[in-house]
Every structure is written in structure tokens, then in C-alpha cells.
A and B are shown apart, each in its own frame.
Chain A
Amino acid sequence: MQRFINNPDDLVDETVAGFVKAHRDLVHLDPANPRVVVSNAAPQPGRVGIVTGGGSGHEPAFIGYAGRNMVDAVAVGELFSSPTAKSFADAIRAADGGAGVAVLYGNYAGDNMNVKMAARMVAKDGIEVATVVANDDVCSAPAAERAKRRGVAGEIFMWKIGGAKAAQGAPLSEVQAAAQKAIDACRSVGVGLGPCTLPGVGHPNFQIEPGTMEVGIGHHGEPGTRVEALKTASEVADDMLRIVMEDHALPPGSEVAVLVSGLGATPVNELYVLYDRIEAGLTAKGMTVHKALVGNYFTSLEMVGATLTVMALDGELKALLDLETASPAL
């Protein structure tokens, strides 16, 4: 694939630089750390701060969700690579309004270690930290080992709910509980049709043969549960919905929020083709879609494919989901 690249080593810095220029009404760079993007609304005295972070290459995640009533500060890592503990610590400091900080992030080895070390670093500053680890990717581990599952696009709902709860002035323990409830209510699955290439590597780090698709693929090309012949959009949508709903076991009549995100190189119109079938499938199961998000919300460079996330809603989650927000991506 042809790319708009200067030097691959500068890609992350240049991405962040352009991002904060384009969205200067909502976000800015942390003056103390060029790998931390801070909401212009942060910190809010007396309110719980919300922090996330992760590798670059998933834009608009993670930086795009910094904003009002969303994430207060985002730690930025190298491509597909956890931010440093220092960047997480600086993000926590930038988000701290004196009521503690909730770090809401995805279940990956590097992020787990760096967040843990960052929490220890800021404890010396007297900042209380609570964490919630997203594990919504159904195919990354069996249900019995849910703690091993990776976090994917369901993180966006986790940030939305956590950010809204903090905006309402809830204490840290309640913000943490709401974010945990949100991710517990999320199930996601990915289907890959084509791999992605890290510019510094120059070749795809896995292959998807033409005419095939990988069901259950992860956000960095982690192997899925099966490789099979490419099917029609409706058949793929049915498969995705079945995987998610079998793990979910929701009673008929449930209200849900649905997120269909492209992985980077899939045309947005195809995402709507998938969504059309997905909503029909949910309706047939007696579910009501309260809110739908369709677009490139959480990508993986130029991977071809899509993820489906279904979040089960109750009254509290619905109200928090509907609270108005302003961030570059949502």
C-alpha cells in the first residue's frame, strides 16, 4: 500500500501534532509530556479524572476520545505498543482534579504493567487511582477465562460511561463501578479481510489469503478462532452477531447499544451494509437498539475488516450513554 509518510520514526509525533492542531477547540498537548493529550475541560476541581492510553495506529482511538464529559487525558504509545509508565503517570496528573483518577484501559500485557507502575508513581503525589481493564473481545479467550480477554472497541463505551459518571460528580468508587459495569455489558468480535503493515516493518505481520476471512481476529492481527472462505456481508453480519449474542445471553426485550467499527481500510458504506443486517438480527431476537455507532471509531492501521460491539443497557447505562459529550471522535 502507498502511504503518506515522512520518516516512520516520526509518525506518532506527527500524528499527535496534527491532531492537537485540528482539534484545538477540544484538546491540547500536555506541556510536560508530548505523549499526553489532554482535554481542554480537564482537570475539573472536585471531579474524578478519566484517563486512558494505548498504542498508536488505532485512530481515532485513543486520542479522539479526549474531551468534555469523556476522557480527560490520554497517554500515547508507539504504534501498537503501550505508552510508557511515565506517560500514563503524566496523564493521571493532568486529569487529576483532586477527587482521584480512573484509568480505563485495555487488557494487554504492556498496558497492564505500565498502568500499574504509573499508579505507584502518582501515589507519591497523593493521587488516588482506580483502574478498569476492558476485556470485551469474545474470541480472545473462552468465557470461563474472561479475565484473559483483550479489550477492543467496547472500550469506547467504557470511556463514555465512565466519563459521564465523573461528569455527574460521582466519587471515584462509583465511577469505577460504572465503567466496570459498562465493559461487563459489552461483547465484541472482529472479522479481518486483510492485514495491516507497520510502516517501520514494511511487510504485513500476518497474512489473510485472498478469498478468505479470519473470524475473531484481534486489533493487532491476533489470530482469530477460524479462517474460512469469504462470505456475503449478510452471512458475515449474522456470524458476528451470533458470536457476540451467544456469549451475552441477553433476555428478549433487552435494550442495547451497537458499535460497528471499521478496522481502517474497509469503506464506511460496507459498515452500514453490515449494520443493516445486524440491527435486523437484533430486532428478530426481540432486542431494541437504543443507540448505534457506525464508522471508523477504533481502527488498526489499514487492516481490512470490522468489529461489532453490543452493549446491554439498563436505566443507568442508558442515561450515562445519552449524556451529551464533545470529543473529536464522539
Chain B
Amino acid sequence: MTALHPPASALASGRALGPIDGMTALDSHQIVDLFRVIARRLAEARAELGALDGAIGDADHGNSMADGFAAVVRASAEAATRGSDVGDLFVVAGRSFLNAVGATTGPLYASALLRAGQRFAGQKTLAIADLPDLLAAFAAGISDRGKARPGDKTMMDVWGPAARAAEQPGPPRDRMARALRAAEDGRDATRTMVASVGRAARLGERSLGHVDPGAASAVIVIAALQEGLAHHLAQDRP
């Protein structure tokens, strides 16, 4: 896992950012750092997600998510080095995820990342105040592609509540923390749901009692975003 290392500071990204800028916005390199945190946490959860998926699916969800975000890190790091802006970076990330992962996971996260690319198109930086919008963009991209409704026992039972929780006003850190709590509640709620779309729908009632692996990995992604943000804010605090 040489591609995965702790989030780099603005300095390590080779960029001179003033303390004010660093506090309020992320540049492309710093977004790659966020991807690195996601990829690292998913890699750590590879076996755990595989076991969850093994209960009601084909046990490959841990591999799909970890390999997908590893591909995102590789492609986006290269794009950031080439000078891609934030919008382009998310587009590159989405395409790399799509090329790496099949099943429904590939198109769904690719659509999430591509939607973020649209939302932040042409921006040199992503304002930290807009970071909760990233959750909304992910949720919208996944929802439009997958068409899952609340209660279908999918990743949308995490992304939907998380995006809504992040919309409530407040400091970005608080909004992300609320989003994470909503995400965890959503994940836990999937245990009592019967899958009606996606692969687990093949099992019908047999899916009852199991946490949806897509919901579990969505929580990991959201937790990693929050972790990356906290790390960033701590580093840039004067």
C-alpha cells in the first residue's frame, strides 16, 4: 500500500498556502490527500466489508471499494500534478473509479465523483464551507444513477440522511460530524431492511438482519472525509 500515506500538509503538497487560505479552502493536492484517507480506511476495512458482503452478496465489496479508491488516488494525484483544478480532479477520479470497478458499485461511485466534478467545475479550490456540499453532490449522483429509494437497503440509506444532515447550517466541522452520525444511524437501520434493489435483492427476506455492505462502506467514506478535514484543520491552525 505504498500509494497510501497519511494526509500531507499543504507544505508536503509542495504548495505555499497562507494560513487563511489553508484554513478556508482545499486545493487539488489537498483533495487528493482526502482521497488518500478514504483509500487507506477502505483498505483497512477490506476484509470486514468482504465478510459483510459475503453474508448477502458475493464478498467482493471490500475489494471493489479499496481497489476503486486506490485507483482514484493514483489518477487524481497525477492530475493534480498536471495542474488540474478541483472540478477536473473529481472528473478524473470518477473515470478512474469506473474503469476499476464493475457491479453497481463502479457506476454509483463514479456518478458520485462525476457529480462533484460538475458541482465544483472550474474551481481552483474547494472551500471548506462547501465541503458538506460534496456529500450532497455524492448523494445526488448516486441517487440519480441507482434510483434507490429510502429503505431499499442500499448505500442511499446512508448517503441520503448524511447529505440532509450536512445541509443544516453551522460550522463545516459540526456539519460533517452531524453527517457522520446520520450516516451511522442509516447504516445500522439497514439491518432491519429487506433488500429490494441491487444484488442483495436476490436474497429478498434472506437479507434481513444483515447490515448492507454498501451502507457500511459509505460510512467509512464519510468518516474518512471528516477525518481528513479534521486533520487538515489541525495542521493549518496557527
Contact = CB atoms under 8 A, between A and B. Distances in A.
Contacts, number: 97
B107 A203 contact: no
A117 interface: yes
Contact of B145 (A78, A113, A206): A113
B204 A200 contact: no
A110 interface: yes
Given A113-B108, A200-B59, A206 B203 contact: yes
A81 B60 contact: yes
B202 A221 contact: yes
B44 interface: no
B192 interface: no
A223 B205 contact: yes
The 3 residue pairs across chains A and B that have the minimum distance between CB atoms: A113-B107, A222-B202, A84-B102
A218 B202 contact: yes
B99 A222 contact: no
Interface of A: 9, 77-87, 108-110, 113-114, 116-117, 198, 200-203, 205-206, 218, 220-223
Contact of B107 (A81, A85, A108, A206): A85
B104 A113 contact: yes
Given A79-B58, A84-B98, A206-B206, A110 B110 contact: no
A19 B50 CA distance: 28
Contact of A109 (B54, B99, B104): B104
A203 B58 CA distance: 10
Contacts of B63: 9
A200 B58 contact: yes
B196 to A, nearest CB: 11
Given A86-B99, A198-B59, A201-B54, 16 more contacts: A78-B102, A79-B58, A81-B58, A81-B103, A81-B199, A82-B102, A83-B102, A85-B98, A85-B106, A85-B107, A109-B199, A110-B102, A113-B145, A114-B106, A200-B60, A205-B56
Contacts of A116: 107
Contact of B206 (A78, A83, A85, A223): A223
- Which of B100, B106, B204 has most A Cβ within 10 Å? B106
Contacts of A205: 54-58, 203
A113 B56 contact: no
A286 B35 CA distance: 64
Given A81-B60, A202-B54, A87 B102 contact: yes
Given A84-B99, A113-B145, A203-B54, A223 B204 contact: yes
B58 A84 contact: no
Interface in B36-59: 50, 54-59
Contacts of B198: 109
Contact of A84 (B54, B101, B206): B101
Contacts of A81: 58, 60, 102-103, 199
Contacts of A221: 202-203
B151 interface: no
B146 interface: yes
Looking at B63, B107, B201, which has the most chain A CB atoms within 10 Å of its CB? B107
19 contacts: A9-B63, A77-B103, A78-B60, A80-B199, A82-B102, A82-B103, A85-B107, A110-B107, A113-B107, A114-B106, A198-B58, A201-B59, A205-B57, A206-B203, A206-B206, A221-B203, A223-B202, A223-B205, A223-B206
Interface string B198-227: 110111111000000000000000000000
Nearest to A85: B98
Interface string B62-103: 010000000000000000000000000000000000111111
A220 B200 CA distance: 10
Contacts of B199: 80-81, 108-110, 220
A113 B97 CA distance: 14
Contacts of B202: 218, 220-223
A77 B106 CA distance: 12
B197 interface: yes
A80 B102 contact: no
From A9, A77, A109, A114, name the one whose CB has the most chain B CB atoms within 10 angstroms.
A109
A117 B107 contact: yes
B98 A222 contact: no
Nearest to B104: A110
Contacts of B60: 78-79, 81, 200
A37 to B, nearest CB: 15
